[in-house]
Amino acid sequence: MIVVHELSKRFGATLAVDRLSFEVGRGEVVGFLGPNGAGKTTTIRVLTGFHPATSGTASVAGHDVVKASLQARQSLGYLPENVPIYPDLRVVEYLRYRAALKGVPAKERKLAVSRAMDKAGVEDVARKLVGHVSRGYRQRVGLADALVANPPILILDEPTSGLDPNQRRRIKQVVLDLAQEHTILFSSHILAEVQDVSSRIVVIHRGQLRADGPPEALVQQHTARRLVVAAAAAGATLSACVEGLAGIGEIEIDEGMGRATLKASVAAGEDPREAVGTRLLAAGVAALEVRLDLPTLEEFFYQLTEGSDRAEELALASEDHE
């Protein structure tokens, strides 16, 4: 339903999106993830026809966003990050206006507006001026706007940004309900939300694609796990039991009170617990705990984004130092 191919967008000297390619299939809910300034909003603005691409192509529901912009825009409902307001219109008037603008026939408009208000949960503010509703409601009014013409594709740009936890929860529930009938591209920098809502995530950083797949699989494939071994023994003994095993990386030892705790990074796909247990037995060490901590999406995200930045910064700093 959404195809982005080698898409680049340059603003003067800044390359906001760099040869980005990904697809969103029919009925999928895809989380579009990246830190602030990663190029998410720019990509979305190209998809919605608001900005042109510098190079590459993008299509929505089979319509090229440049060559068949109107048809592409007809197929999607868009919720921008900051829902803009017309303060002099009531919520229901605003939605009727938007429905008319999107070509909903006059006879069906009333029904379309009430259905969208119902889905987004804004009936109780229907008669309020758009300028007078709270930020959470404004976000939902924006969502009702995206839904009013019942488009097959929804593009939601940071739908929960600036909301309190309760409001975020409500929006998340609305998105989950919508997932039954719509293809959704959901951008966010809040990982927990994306994990809860999306069947697949696309991670971008500095305008480039960093990962694309189901969250759990990505975490397991790309992120190192952590082995934790605690025993009533000296740190050196524990270290000797773990060193040299397949997939074991950096080791940290924490000693005190007659016991030691060892933490070691483990390469993706490896599980050294059994081997560690055997070695501990052979060494006659009474193990208190042997566990493998699975990485969280947050760690995965950190490694893909901030982590890589940090590594680059350190490399640059050491070059400068030299």
Binding site for another protein (CB under 8 A): 45, 48-55, 66, 69-71, 73-74, 78, 80, 82-86, 88-89, 97-98, 100-103, 142, 145
CB of 137 to another protein, least distance (A): 16
CB of 267 to another protein, least distance (A): 44
Q: Of 101 and 288, which CB lies nearer to another protein in the complex structure?
A: 101
One-letter amino acid identity for 199? S
Contact 202, 59 (CB under 8 A): no
Q: Of 31 and 49, which CB lies nearer to another protein in the complex structure?
A: 49
CB of 167 to another protein, least distance (A): 20
SS3 56: strand
Task: State the Cα–Cα distance between residues 125 and 144, nearest whole angstrom.
Answer: 12
One-letter amino acid identity for 118? D
Q: Which residues contact 117 (CB under 8 A, 6 or more apart)?
A: 91, 92, 95, 123, 126, 144
Contact 189, 36 (CB under 8 A): yes
In degrees, to the nearest 5, what angle opens at C-alpha 148 toward C-alphas 155 and 77? 15
Q: Of 61 and 171, which CB lies nearer to another protein in the complex structure?
A: 61
Q: Of 82 and 134, which CB lies nearer to another protein in the complex structure?
A: 82
CB of 80 to another protein, least distance (A): 5
CB of 107 to another protein, least distance (A): 15
Q: Which residues contact 321 (CB under 8 A, 6 or more apart)?
A: none
Task: State the Cα–Cα distance between residues 30 and 183, nearest whole angstrom.
Answer: 8
Sort 246 into a burial class: Cβ within 10 Å, 0-12 / 13-18 / 19+: exposed
CB of 129 to another protein, least distance (A): 10
Structure tokens at 86: 């017309």
CB of 164 to another protein, least distance (A): 22
Structure tokens at 171: 């929006």
Q: Of 145 and 299, which CB lies nearer to another protein in the complex structure?
A: 145
Task: State the Cα–Cα distance between residues 179 and 181, nearest whole angstrom.
Answer: 5
Number of Cβ within a 10 Å radius of residue 224: 17
Q: Of 103 and 165, which CB lies nearer to another protein in the complex structure?
A: 103
Q: Of 129 and 230, which CB lies nearer to another protein in the complex structure?
A: 129
Task: State the Cα–Cα distance between residues 222 and 24, nearest whole angstrom.
Answer: 21
One-letter amino acid identity for 214? P
Q: Of 45 and 279, which CB lies nearer to another protein in the complex structure?
A: 45
Contact 222, 294 (CB under 8 A): no
CB of 61 to another protein, least distance (A): 12
